[in-house]
Amino acid sequence: MKWAQVTITTSQEASEAVANYLFERDATGIEIRDTPAPNSPSVTLISYFPTDDLIGERVHNLHEFLASLIQAGIDTHPAKVTLESIEEDNWSEQWRSAFPPQKIGKRLVIAPTWDDIVPESSEVLIRLDPGMAFGTGQHPTTQLALELLEISIKRADAVADIGTGSGILAIAAAKLGAKRIDAIDLDATTIPIARNNIQLNKVEPVISLHQGDGLNALERQQYPLIVANILTKALLPMIPICPQFLEPAGRLILSGILVQEASQIEAQLEANGFRVLEVRQLKENHELIQSGENWVGILAQIGRS
């Protein structure tokens, strides 16, 4: 059997909508890569479909969907779509090779379900089904959020995870000792994905999934820690709401921020009573930094002292 590899290059802003579109149309796996060019705002999405009589129609419909995003005011940067035929054996090998186990921070290990990795006694293993590659640990924004989560979380902490996607941050919080996590995503299609990954990691008792618009989807309660891995344009209006949902001296982890956007986020934090504790980039020798991707994660605390 032959497979069609459909590759789409588009903007960060449009990438999640495109990934969801592909997923809803039964793409067999979606791999998401930032474009390896300095300061590039582009993202490449690689998806696979059976080569059948419908493939031409699928590509045509994809072009129409991209055009509809432009009409809706979403910058697609401009989008480019390519089609390539791949033999089944090559497809399977190529797909799995894109998801090797990853060590993140000091203790976290992220591995796909098919890998038989045995973690060290000090390590925390998270298994994911990378059918849809948002939040598999590959993207630098996810890695930055995980690193900051690891150094910020305390046992018995309650955590709010905004834009949970695959559920990776909520799962990491649970495995690092949090006793209650509320995981929220605006996109209803991500909820079954997150639920599946939560079940794989046997952390269902401590994670509650919610579909809705960020913190507004929650009952008014306070958390010692909020983490949000979403784009800057969504973070900016969220920051003024966060103090209502944080305990005194509570902490906020923000990721999804391009280097050139960091000063804008920092200013918004300071204007709303936060103190920035750390602005973190991946280490300079990291392959994602070498490929030209420039992202930061920010750790902040409510209160000036």
Q: What is the pLDDT of residues 40-68, one digit of tens each?
A: 568 888 888 888 888 889 899 999 999 99
Beta-strand pair 207-211/180-185: parallel
* Lowest mean per-residue pLDDT among 46-55, 135-144, 285-294: 285-294
If asked whether residues 9 and 87 sit together in one domain, one would say yes
Residues 206 and 259 in one domain: yes
Q: Lowest mean pLDDT: which of 43-57, 203-217, 268-282? A: 43-57
Tell me the CB-side half-sphere exposure of residue 81, using CA atoms within 13 A: 19
Q: Are strands 274-280 and 295-302 parallel, antiparallel or unpaired?
A: antiparallel
Same domain, 126 and 161: yes
> Of 155 and 142, which is predicted with more confidence?
142
Q: Give the end of a domain, one of 50, 70, 97.
A: 97
Interior CA angle at 79 toward 75 and 85, to 5°?
155
> Are 129 and 249 in a shared domain?
yes
Structure confidence at residue 290 as a pLDDT band (50, 70, 90): very low
Average pLDDT over residues 156-172: 92
Residues of the chain above pLDDT 70, percent: 86
The H or E element that residue 174 is part of is helix 168-175
pLDDT, tens only, 73-96: 888 888 889 988 877 666 666 666
Q: Which two tokens stand for residue 232?
A: 């800057």
Q: Which of 75, 97, 119 is the last residue of a domain?
A: 97
What pLDDT band is residue 291 in, cutting at 50, 70 and 90? very low
Number of domains into which the chain is organized: 2
Strands 158-162 and 180-185 turn out to be: parallel
Tokens standing for 123? 């390590």
With contact defined as beta carbons under 8 Å apart, do 112 and 142 qualify?
no
Confidence grade of residue 208 (pLDDT, cut at 50, 70, 90): very high
Report d(CA 301, CA 278) in Å as an integer.
Answer: 10
Which of 67, 97, 127 is the C-terminal boundary of a domain? 97
Residues 82 and 117 in one domain: no
pTM above 0.75, yes or no: yes
Domain identity same for 160 and 244: yes
E-only strand ranges, 29-88:
30-34, 42-50, 80-87
How far is Cα 35 from Cα 86, in angstroms, rounded to an integer?
Answer: 22
Domain extent for 38: 2-97
- Do 82 and 118 fall into the same domain? no
Which of the pair, 224 or 47, is modelled with greater confidence? 224
